[in-house]
Amino acid sequence: MNLMGDPRQSQGTLNLPFAGPALTLAQRTNRWPLTAWGYAGWRRRSLTLLTGEAFPLAREAALFRALCRPRPGEGWLDAGTSTGFYAGVLAGAGCRVLAADLSAPMLAAARRQTPHPHIDWFLTNLEASGLPDAAFDGVTVGATLNETREPARLLAELARLTRPGGQLWLMYVGRTGHPLQPLLTLPALGGLTFPDPAWVARHLPGCARTDAVQVGAVVFERYVKAQG
Ligand SMILES: C[S@@+](CC[C@H](N)C(=O)[O-])C[C@H]1O[C@@H](n2cnc3c(N)ncnc32)[C@H](O)[C@@H]1O
């Protein structure tokens, strides 16, 4: 099943009504056109605010490229692409990308802001996408883990979608003990999750962590899925 390279896939799914598992408040707000409109501006500054040091997108892209070394021709899933930051980095490295998100307004903004012939846009909830096993050489997960309703289910799904020997790149806000974090986990205040890296490791079946970098509250990790 070739998921990338057939633009009808993304065009068709973008037009379907969304159906799937229940969503957190954070996920629902990402489906507002206003959130999609403002997202790229927030994203440019987000890691500087969350790490407490200068952390432009170019630094994040350089860290990702240095640790994951995406190669031309590889097929990647950008899980929760928003406006397509990781999708754009991957396409720039010559990869084919399925950029998936559950927000149609985010995908529409991404298509405008990060157009590239190697990127297909796909509207889905990745906790239950129905994509086939081992479909991707690599998966990027930029902060989607913080927002999804069932992070353990998302991680299991992303491990399933990665081919043996393939890699997963995670960027997320980890558990810090900051007093705001328990509040933001409340359903009415966002329903966010702030995972502990040891918890993440336990929930990526058959995957081994090869790299971990923490800057302030932000965790970057590379995992490799075991061969066969
Ligand atoms: C914090 S944003 C990060 C976006 C992007 N990865 C980046 O690095 O800029 C998280 C995105 O993931 C999407 N998302 C959250 N849970 C999802 C899920 N279960 N399936 C698909 N997309 C999801 C949201 O709609 C949102 O656009």
CA 2 – ligand 1 centroid, Å:
23
pLDDT, position 137? 98
The model's pTM is 0.92
pLDDT, position 20? 58
- Specify if 6 maps to a domain: no
Atom index in ligand 1 nearest the CA of residue 21 equals 19
Q: Mean per-residue pLDDT for 58-64?
A: 98
- Specify if 159 maps to a domain: yes
Q: Mean per-residue pLDDT for 129-155?
A: 97
Q: Is pLDDT at 15 greater than 80 in this prediction?
A: no
CA 52 – ligand 1 centroid, Å:
23
Q: Is pLDDT at 52 greater than 90 in this prediction?
A: yes
pLDDT, position 228? 73
- Specify if 12 maps to a domain: no
- DSSP annotation of 227 reads P
Which protein residue's CA is at the shortest distance from atom 10 of ligand 1? Answer: 144
Q: Is pLDDT at 78 greater than 50 in this prediction?
A: yes
pLDDT, position 184? 96
pLDDT tens for 18-48 read: 455 689 999 999 999 999 999 999 999 999 9
Say which CATH number the domain at 97 has.
3.40.50.150
Q: Domain limits at 46?
A: 21-225
Q: Is the CB of 116 under 6 A from ligand 1?
A: no
Helix, strand, coil percentages for the chain (3-state, nearest 5): 40, 25, 35
- Specify if 4 maps to a domain: no
Q: Is pLDDT at 97 greater than 70 in this prediction?
A: yes
- Specify if 11 maps to a domain: no
- Specify if 5 maps to a domain: no
Q: Is 59 helix (H, G, I), strand (E, B) or coil?
A: helix
CA 77 – ligand 1 centroid, Å:
12
CB 106 within 8 A of CB 39: yes
pLDDT tens for 158-203 read: 999 999 999 999 999 999 999 999 999 999 999 999 999 999 999 9
- Specify if 101 maps to a domain: yes
Which protein residue's CA is at the shortest distance from atom 7 of ligand 1? Answer: 142
CA 2, 81, 60, 226 torsion-angle sign: negative
Q: What strands lie across the sheet with 96-101, from one edge to the other? A: 119-123, 96-101, 75-79, 136-142, 162-173, 218-225, 207-215
Report the number of distinct structural domains present in the chain.
Answer: 1
- Specify if 8 maps to a domain: no
Q: Please state, rounded to an integer, the average pLDDT across all residues of the chain.
A: 91
CA 30 – ligand 1 centroid, Å:
8
